[in-house]
Chain A
Amino acid sequence: MSFELSQETQTRINEEIIPLYPRKKSAILPVLWEIQEEHGHISREGMLYTAEILELPAAHVFGVLTFYTMFEQEPIGKFHLQVCKTASCEIMGCKGITQKIKDKLGIGTGETSEDELFTLTEVECLAACEIAPMMQVNKDNFGPLTPEIVDVILDELKEHGETKTTKRCL
């Protein structure tokens, strides 16, 4: 399987990102981010591409890629539901939130819904404890959540591709 990356992204990587750093190797996370932004995940080919342009052993890139939790090695749903499960969020009821998502979408943690719209992950503290219980949907935070609010968010995402009534938090 060949690996393709848009010309735009390639140019950004070579002309903007790599020159930011005194040493090429430092660009490893930003390059992996670019690939994930475009493809939604980082395939084996994406990893090899990163190794090639940064002149690194593929094993090193693989080691780094798997050390960090935010890189996906398999395709995930269009909306990544990341429910925080740490301290304040558990105190404030994140288990009910996760359960609501599981029941509504018929998926477990780490799974993607059949329509490939939603992937559920339980993650560690997202540094948004004031809106606990909270979740991050792709790049936006939502909270404080109740099972009812989650219901609305999921319906709206499914129908409109965005949330209309629930405001995202920064």
Chain B
Amino acid sequence: MPLVITRNFGRENSRSIDVYRENGGYETLTKSLEMEPSAIIDEVKNSGLRGRGGAGFPTGVKWTFLDTKSGNPIYFCVNADESEPGTFKDRHIMNSDPHLLLEGIIISCFAVGCHKAFVYCRGEFHRQIEFMWNAVEEAKAAGFIGKNILGSGFDIDIVIHKGAGAYICGEETGLLSSLEGNKGQPRIKPPFPAIKGLYDCPTVVNNVETICAVPWIIENGAEAYTAMGTERSPGTKVFCVSGPVKNPNFFEVELGYPLIDLINNEAGGLRDGVELKACIPGGSSMPILTPEEVAEAKMDYEALNAMGTFLGSGGVVVVPHTMSIVSLLRNLASFYAHESCGQCTPCREGSGWIAKILQNIDAGRGRPGDIELLHDLCDNMRGWAHKFHPIQPWLQKDEGMGGSKTICVFSDALAWPVQSYLIKFRHEFEEAIANANPSAAVPADISEKTPFTVLNH
């Protein structure tokens, strides 16, 4: 299998433009500039490339939604706000091959007729932002960025924008709000960014990894890309494996790759003495898998959907037998309560209460009925179903309610893991509640006076 994203990673000085060009870098750009822009879009569409940030929307199709008749400039935003717990691929792409990302951006911008692109990096990526700016300067000096690049008549400018610490800016409309100079609060869709995005202009928002696949697809053709992966999930994906495995790292494999092989082969298997208790397949927002499910899981969009979970961002977190599921969920719920932007009541209040209840259960202060209360809270946060479904409530579409209860999917992204943990590992929660001691100390991160001690935003 040819490597699409990580092909240059091992080379010495892979960050420099010279090394990138010695290995064929920017040749695809030259070729692309001689193509019809619509032919590039068609190629990406035919490749079946899907967004690698979490939602998995077909990239080429997203591009065709752009409102090209509005008369407004088109903007291109790359989502490098990688902050889904368990995911670290984009950081490595910018560490090792910033020019691949730039080449992908320039080709994509040429295809959609955009002359100004922004790369929104999370603020904690201090070094990666330096690498990206260096790469932009190198590419400018070489004539790949600027006016009339390579004599094609096409102008492109790329700006690296530094965020400042907010998970919600990884949501595409939250990202746009932040880039406009506001709080990173998501907006109601529709209108989708393709119609009214940055400064109310048509805008494309794509993940780093997605855009990095574009040069390869244009170079080798859509057919070569669809030859990899599965029929409906073509191509390769960079998966991140963390937790107690022998070689925690990122690995590029074909979509449809067995999860158990990813853990046992690529990641070197579990560390000595560790038994597998559970596994998060695609970042912290995704429903958890039991060891039996891990043995069967194939890492592509459809196969994981069929199991009641999602591919998400591809962040695989291995949970060892020593880790309490109650503690893990308490950890994640605290994360979401901290990161909720606070606009929508179900999310702001729900995430705060879920965190507080779980902090109490985990500290030995659980009460009978807490499990049902958590389910009830989740049902009021999740967009799809309001009736409790015993097996996979997060997948059941509800006929009566429909739609979403909040502006973005953040509250769903908390409700999914909470309900899946509660259902698949109910015994751990029951045990914690049965063994609770009402006189146990209040956890340090909870104040009894205020309901939401963890809300900073």
Contacts and interface: CB of A to CB of B under 8 A. Distances in A.
B338 interface: yes
Interface in A18-70: 20-30, 32-33, 54, 56, 60, 63-64, 67-70
Nearest to A136: B124
A131 B249 CA distance: 8
A152 interface: no
B78 to A, nearest CB: 15
Contacts of B108: none
B308 interface: no
A24 B328 CA distance: 43
A86 B181 contact: no
Interface in B320-336: 320, 323, 327-328, 331-332, 335
A130 B182 contact: no
B166 A88 contact: no
Interface in A115-141: 123-132, 136, 139-140
A76 interface: no
Q: Which of A123, A127, A129 has the most CB of B within 10 A?
A: A127
Interface in A66-97: 67-71, 85-88, 90-92
Interface size class of A (residues with CB under 8 A): 35 or more
Contact of B331 (A85, A92, A127, A140): A85
B159 interface: yes
A1 interface: no
Interface in B293-348: 315, 317-320, 323, 327-328, 331-332, 335, 338-339, 341
A88 to B, nearest CB: 4
A122 B434 CA distance: 31
B83 A125 contact: yes
Contact of A68 (B90, B163, B317): B163
Interface string B54-79: 00000000000000000001000000
Nearest to A139: B126
B90 A127 contact: yes
B249 A127 contact: no
Given A69-B166, A88-B85, A139-B126, A125 B181 contact: no
Contacts of A136: 124
B163 to A, nearest CB: 7
B229 interface: no
B88 A127 contact: yes
B88 A170 contact: no
B8 interface: no
Given A68-B163, A69-B165, A63 B123 contact: no
B309 to A, nearest CB: 16
B83 A70 contact: no
Interface string B96-137: 000000000000000000001000001111111000000000
B248 A130 contact: yes
A67 to B, nearest CB: 4
B88 A129 contact: yes
B317 to A, nearest CB: 5
Given A22-B199, A91-B328, A127-B91, A30 B124 contact: no
Contacts of B315: 129
Given A86-B331, A130-B248, A27 B166 contact: no
A87 B181 contact: no
A136 B182 CA distance: 26
Contacts of A30: 161-162
Interface stretch (B143-151, B236-244, B402-410): B236-244
B453 to A, nearest CB: 13
Contacts of B332: 86-87
B179 interface: yes
B433 to A, nearest CB: 21
B180 interface: yes
Contacts of B161: 26, 29-30
Contact of B180 (A23, A124, A130): A23
A70 B317 contact: no
A127 B164 contact: no
Contacts of A27: 181
Contacts of B127: 139-140, 170
A124 B331 CA distance: 10
A142 B453 CA distance: 29
B243 to A, nearest CB: 5
B457 A88 contact: no
Interface string B235-264: 000001111100011100000000000000
A140 B124 CA distance: 9
A160 to B, nearest CB: 21
Contacts of B357: none
B165 A130 contact: no
Given A22-B116, A87-B280, A87-B328, A130 B184 contact: no
B166 A129 contact: no
5 contacts: A23-B181, A67-B341, A70-B164, A91-B317, A127-B125
List the 5 shortest-distance A-B pairs measured between CB atoms, nearest first. A25-B181, A68-B164, A129-B242, A70-B165, A139-B126
Interface of A: 20-30, 32-33, 54, 56, 60, 63-64, 67-71, 85-88, 90-92, 123-132, 136, 139-140, 170
Interface of B: 73, 82-88, 90-91, 95, 116, 122-128, 159, 161-167, 178-184, 199, 240-244, 248-250, 280, 284, 315, 317-320, 323, 327-328, 331-332, 335, 338-339, 341, 456-457
